[in-house]
């Protein structure tokens, strides 16, 4: 068995890598002295992958909204036995999540790690879908959707995505709608599963005080035999035009005070690896300098009572979409928006100073180190970065390499009036 080792001496961490006989990539980060062990098994398949050519077919298939998430729920189904019971008996806490680009199945345990790992590989690789159990899930997911419908934070976010994007499926709610999930059936779920859940599209990451040899042994034994599945997956994305869909979306719902999200849609797309992750880091540094808690902007607006501590911003994106989001609560979201437009129209050397850049960089270095205390942080960030084609162990070095010039260039290109949209949720009228 070939094992590759990636080391980072500064943070005193390493990651080991090997491949199974079916071509599944396994990464492991040892954490000596930790009680908890964590395994996360992910496929590069999320809510945006709603148009594709199913494996073994020729025609493009458009699937109902929310199907990736539906499939995530259904993989927990096993003939006769309850998979939750099996994990519970071995003290493991099992869970799963679906986001725009990935579906992940994970567990944490203190004991019986290897037995739980075997269970994880087994249940993800062996779907058991029947018409009846698919039907049964619809009521449960409908309640999940309704829960999100009552969350102002979720609504303001998805309204913003709707405002920013014309065609890109990132604007679709991850869980779908009550109507769309009702059109999901066993056949569509199997087609999606067979296309996206093959080893070459997946990764398994493990972190904890464990033996890598033993991990590989368990996975190689548990793994299902695959035929020739290394074909590339045909995903179809409509070309998303530059510019935004709608300038503003407003909605009223049961909430205390208005909340808002301002979004800058990214147009500099198409990257993976270091270039992409560096863009993420650079954009987040800019946002911190511009509107973070140590910015004059934040402090002035706070003093005027326009914002509170809920105010903040971040950049997030993948290869084919990306956006900066700035948001919070305010009694006057339009004023905050105007002030932000005023801010970004100022000369760049006035608003992005080198000493602020250095300070924020120090902060980010420290914050990342704090993150490395948590195996959940490590596992979730590993997977996210892995699908960007980047290893978490190189993150600190990349962050150290970011220069002041990088942020100036990125600012000019990303923070423009053409790319910006606004979403507001207001309280109901009394």
Partner 1 sequence: MALESQRIKLGNGIYLNLIKTDKFKSNLLSYYFIRPLEREEVTKNALLPLVLRRGTKNLPTSLQLEKKMEELYGSNLSVAINKRGEKQVIRFTMEWANGDYLGDKGYDYKVIDILREIVFSPTLEKGVFNSKYVSQEKEILKRRIESKINDKRSYAINRCIEEMCKNERYSLYQLGYVEDLEKIDESNLYRHYSKVLETSPIEIFYVGNYDENLVKYLEDSNKMDRKEIIEILEEDNIKSPMTKSIVKEELDVNQGKLVLGYRTGINYKDKLYNASVVASDILGGGPNSKLFRHVREEESLAYYITSSTYKYKCILLIDAGINFDDFDKAVDIIRKQVEDLKNGIFTQEDIDISIKSLQSSTEAIRDSIFLISEFFFSKVLSQDNRSLEEILKGFQEVTKDEIIKVANKIEIDTIYFMKNKVK
The stretch near partner 1 (CB under 8 A) out of 89-97, 224-232, 269-277, 411-419 is 89-97
Q: Alpha carbon 66 to chain centroid distance?
A: 16
Q: Does 60 bind partner 1 (CB under 8 A)?
A: no
Q: Any contact of residue 183 with partner 1 (CB under 8 A)?
A: no
Of positions 4, 7, 10, 23, contacts partner 1 by CB under 8 A: 10
Mask for 311-340, x = binds partner 1 (CB under 8 A): ------------------x-----------
CB of 237 to partner 1, least distance (A): 30
* Strand 25-30 to 103-109 pairing: unpaired
Question: Is residue 115 within the footprint of partner 1 (CB under 8 A)?
Answer: no
- 369 contacts partner 1 (rule: CB under 8 A): yes
Binder of partner 1 out of 34, 97, 190, 237 (CB under 8 A): 34
Total number of residues shown for the chain: 430
CB 139 to partner 1: min, Å:
3
In this structure, what is the dihedral angle of CA atoms 182, 187, 189, 191, given to the nearest 10 degrees?
-140
Q: Which of 250, 261, 409, 249 is nearest to 323 (CA)?
A: 261
User: Which one, 130 or 299, has the nearer CB to partner 1?
Assistant: 299
Q: Candidates 57, 62, 110, 409: give the one binding partner 1 (CB under 8 A).
A: 110
The stretch near partner 1 (CB under 8 A) out of 63-71, 79-87, 157-165, 243-251 is 79-87
Q: Which is nearer to partner 1, 209 or 234 (CB)?
A: 209
User: CA–CA separation, 157 vs 228, rounded Å?
Assistant: 41
Using rule CB under 8 A, residue 7 touches partner 1: no
Binder of partner 1 out of 1, 273, 366, 403 (CB under 8 A): 366
- Out of 6, 14, 25, 36, name the contact with partner 1 by CB under 8 A: 36
| CA 178 distance to own-chain centroid | 23
Quick one: 208 exposed, middle or buried, by C-beta within 10 A (0-12, 13-18, 19+)? buried
The interface mask with partner 1, positions 124-163, x = CB under 8 A, is ------------xxxxxx-xx-xx-xxxxx----------
Least distance (Å) between residue 40 CB and partner 1: 16
Stretch that binds partner 1, among 312-320, 334-342, 358-366, 383-391 (CB under 8 A): 358-366
Residue 177 to residue 165: CA distance in whole angstroms? 18
Q: Which stretch binds partner 1 (CB under 8 A): 77-85, 124-132, 213-221, 343-351?
A: 77-85
- Is residue 373 near partner 1 by the rule CB under 8 A? yes
Helix axes 131-149, 67-74, angle to 10 degrees: 120
Q: Do the Cβ atoms of 98 and 68 come closer than 8 Å?
A: yes
Helices (H), 60-185: 67-74, 83-89, 113-125, 131-149, 152-164, 178-182
Residue with tokens 């539906």: 70
Other beta carbons within 10 angstroms of residue 400's beta carbon come to 11
Q: Is 255 in the site for partner 1 (CB under 8 A)?
A: yes
**H/E stretch holding 383:** helix 375-386
Q: Which residue is catalytic, options 5, 13, 57, 72?
A: 72
Taking a C-beta distance cutoff of 8 angstroms, is the pair 264, 327 a contact? no
Q: How far apart are CA 263 and CA 351, in angstroms?
A: 19
Contact in structure between 407 and 357 (CB atoms under 8 Å): yes
- Binding residue for partner 1 (CB under 8 A) from 233, 363, 389, 416? 363
Residue 78 annotated to the active site: no
3-state secondary structure (DSSP) of residue 315: strand
Residue 305 interacting with partner 1 (CB under 8 A): yes
Comparing C-alpha atoms, which of 108, 43, 107 is closest to residue 69? 43
Measured from the CB atom, the residue of 183 and 299 that comes closer to partner 1 is 299
Q: Is 211 in the site for partner 1 (CB under 8 A)?
A: no
Query: How does DSSP assign 251-276, residue by residue?
Result: EEES-SS-EEEEEEE-------HHHH
Q: Least Å distance between CB 104 and partner 1?
A: 17
Total residues at the site for partner 1 (CB under 8 A)?
Answer: 66
Q: Which residues are catalytic?
A: 72
By CB under 8 A, name the binding residues for partner 1: 10-12, 33-36, 82, 84-85, 88-94, 108-111, 136-141, 143-144, 146-147, 149-153, 253-257, 293-294, 296, 299, 302-303, 305, 308-309, 329, 359-360, 362-367, 369-370, 372-375, 428
């Amino acid at each position: 068995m070939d094992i590759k080792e990636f080391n980072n001496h500064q943070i005193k961490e390493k990651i080991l890598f090997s491949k199974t006989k079916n071509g599944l990539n396994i990464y492991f980060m040892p954490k000596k002295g930790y009680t908890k062990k964590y395994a996360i098994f992910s496929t590069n398949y999320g809510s945006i992958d709603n148009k594709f050519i199913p494996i073994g077919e020729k025609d493009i298939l458009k699937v109902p909204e929310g199907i990736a998430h539906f499939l995530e729920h259904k993989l927990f189904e096993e003939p006769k036995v309850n998979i939750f019971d099996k994990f519970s008996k071995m003290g493991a806490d099992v869970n799963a999540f679906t986001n725009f680009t990935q579906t992940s199945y994970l567990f944490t345990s203190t004991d019986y790690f290897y037995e739980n790992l075997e269970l994880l590989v087994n249940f993800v690789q062996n779907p058991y879908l029947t018409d009846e159990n698919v039907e049964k899930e619809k009521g449960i997911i409908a309640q999940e959707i309704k829960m999100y419908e009552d969350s102002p934070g979720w609504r303001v976010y998805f309204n913003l995505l709707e405002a920013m994007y014309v065609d890109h499926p990132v604007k679709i709610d991850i869980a779908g709608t009550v109507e769309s999930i009702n059109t999901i059936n066993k056949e569509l779920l199997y087609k999606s599963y067979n296309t996206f859940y093959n080893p070459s599209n997946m990764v398994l990451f493990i972190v904890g005080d464990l033996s890598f040899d033993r991990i590989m042994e368990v996975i190689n034994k548990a793994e299902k035999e695959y035929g020739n599945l290394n074909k590339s997956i045909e995903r179809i994305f409509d070309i998303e035009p530059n510019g935004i869909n709608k300038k503003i979306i407003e909605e009223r719902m049961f909430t205390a005070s208005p909340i808002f999200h301002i979004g800058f849609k990214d147009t500099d797309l198409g990257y993976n690896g270091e270039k992409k992750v560096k863009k993420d880091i650079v954009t987040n540094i800019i946002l911190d300098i511009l509107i973070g808690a140590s910015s004059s902007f934040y402090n002035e607006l706070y003093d005027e009572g326009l914002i509170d501590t809920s105010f903040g911003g971040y950049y997030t994106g993948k290869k084919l979409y990306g956006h900066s989001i700035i948001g919070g609560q305010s009694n006057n979201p339009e004023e905050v928006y105007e002030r932000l437009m005023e801010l970004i129209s100022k000369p760049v050397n006035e608003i992005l100073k080198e000493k602020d850049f250095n300070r924020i960089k120090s902060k980010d270095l420290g914050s990342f180190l704090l993150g490395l205390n948590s195996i959940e942080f490590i596992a979730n960030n590993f997977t996210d970065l892995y699908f960007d084609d980047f290893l978490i162990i190189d993150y600190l070095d990349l962050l150290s390499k970011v220069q002041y010039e990088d942020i100036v260039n990125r600012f000019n290109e990303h923070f423009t009036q053409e790319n910006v949209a606004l979403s507001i949720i207001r309280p109901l009228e009394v």
